[in-house]
Chain A
Amino acid sequence: AQKVTQAQTEISVVEKEDVTLDCVYETRDTTYYLFWYKQPPSGELVFLIRRNSFDEQNEISGRYSWNFQKSTSSFNFTITASQVVDSAVYFCALFTGGGNKLTFGTGTQLKVEL
């Protein structure tokens, strides 16, 4: 069975602070893909990143960075110098060939205030 845990239900920060969203996953498959999605108040899920299980390189995209550590089954997401527009619910998701579907965590509500 596959599972994604996002222990942080809600995080509030002040603009320009850095914030890290945690994601821990469980799977017995050796080949899998990890995703992060952003869900703004408008409701659509916006794709942010995909990482396969064989690529443990961390990635940076502008103010966003991702830290993938297989040893701890974690795929954490950091926003540097947060902005009000970053306010949204962020979902971590796991795809495995065995499950053949995308399993989402429960999401982390990020509130960035002025």
Chain B
Amino acid sequence: EAGVAQSPRYKIIEKRQSVAFWCNPISGHATLYWYQQILGQGPKLLIQFQNNGVVDDSQLPKDRFSAERLKGVDSTLKIQPAKLEDSAVYLCASSLDRAGEVYGYTFGSGTRLTVV
């Protein structure tokens, strides 16, 4: 079974620039998550999709972050404009069940973003 694919692996941008990350979940997984992991901290949920609908985006800074999951498969997370504090690893995960409580989550390798 192919895992969760993410790209790019690394990205360095200047503050106020825009950036986009892509995620392809495991085939058949209806639920997709974006997590932000700042260095030295645990991952924090940014947004959760069930198919192509948003389930939870309460911790997404909506003034600068946006995400979409067209057709309920791939997803894109965008930051515009980026700030220094957005430097982090952005992890995508997917799960077979509604919230991952039974089958768990499968994580991608993440995109490491550095804002300078």
Contact = CB atoms under 8 A, between A and B. Distances in A.
B108 interface: yes
Contacts of A107: 40-42
Contact of B109 (A4, A33, A42, A100): A42
Interface residues on B, range: 20 to 34
Interface stretch (A43-51, A54-62, A78-86): A43-51
B48 to A, nearest CB: 7
A91 B105 CA distance: 13
A106 interface: yes
A95 B99 contact: yes
A77 to B, nearest CB: 15
Contacts of B64: none
Given A43-B89, A45-B43, A91-B42, A50 B104 contact: yes
Interface residues of A, number: 22
A93 B100 CA distance: 12
Contacts of A46: 107
Interface in A19-42: 33, 35, 37, 42
B11 interface: no
Nearest to A49: B104
Contacts of B91: 45
8 contacts: A43-B112, A44-B108, A45-B43, A45-B91, A46-B107, A104-B43, A106-B42, A107-B40
Given A43-B109, A44-B108, 9 more contacts: A37-B107, A43-B112, A44-B107, A45-B43, A91-B42, A102-B100, A105-B42, A106-B40, A107-B40
